């Protein structure tokens, strides 16, 4: 299972990537959102986890870009308000998780997205 983490926060990306790798996922971290499209094509990414900390328009543009080139589900981190939850889903994300997150919840959300997408999942033994 190939997962792309798009995140400007190096600590969040490292923590998320470590949790996923420990559970058998093939993880690539990317800090530059503009390189997302080429990396998804190049690595045949199956799920995208992103931290888009700007406005709803950038989130919408990001989700549209991913959808245009891939059927990969999109899980977005949120951190500010409850209004973000609906805005992110309305922008095209498949799910969200609030920061800071608990690792078991993060992994469960990823597993659920992969099941919904008909993919094989990995879970900690």
Confidence tier at 23 by pLDDT (50, 70, 90)? very high
In a domain, 12, yes or no: yes
CB contact at 8 A, 35 and 42: no
pLDDT of residue 80: 67
Q: What is the pLDDT of residues 80-103, one digit of tens each?
A: 667 778 888 888 999 999 989 999
pLDDT of residue 24: 95
Say how far apart CA 48 and CA 6 lie, in whole Å: 7
**Coil, helix or strand for 21?**
helix
Domain holding 61: CATH number?
3.40.50.2300
Domain interval for residue 61: 2-116
CB contact at 8 A, 74 and 50: yes
Please provide the size of the chain in residues. 125
> Residue written as tokens 């690595």?
43
In a domain, 122, yes or no: no
The number of folded domains in the chain is 1
Q: What is the pLDDT of residues 31-50, one digit of tens each?
A: 988 899 999 989 999 999 99
In a domain, 28, yes or no: yes
What's the mean pLDDT in 53-76? 87
């Amino acid at each position: 299972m190939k997962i792309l983490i798009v995140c400007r926060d190096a600590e969040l990306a490292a923590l998320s990537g470590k949790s996923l790798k420990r559970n058998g996922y093939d993880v690539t971290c990317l800090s530059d959102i503009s390189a997302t499209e080429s990396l998804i094509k190049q690595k045949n990414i199956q799920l995208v986890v992103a931290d888009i900390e700007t406005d709803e328009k950038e989130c919408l543009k990001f989700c549209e870009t991913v959808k245009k080139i891939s059927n990969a589900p999109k899980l977005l981190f949120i951190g500010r308000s409850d209004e973000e939850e609906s805005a992110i889903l309305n922008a095209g994300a498949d799910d969200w998780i609030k920061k800071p997150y608990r690792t078991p919840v993060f992994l469960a959300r990823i597993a659920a997205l992969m099941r919904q997408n008909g993919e094989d999942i990995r879970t900690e033994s």
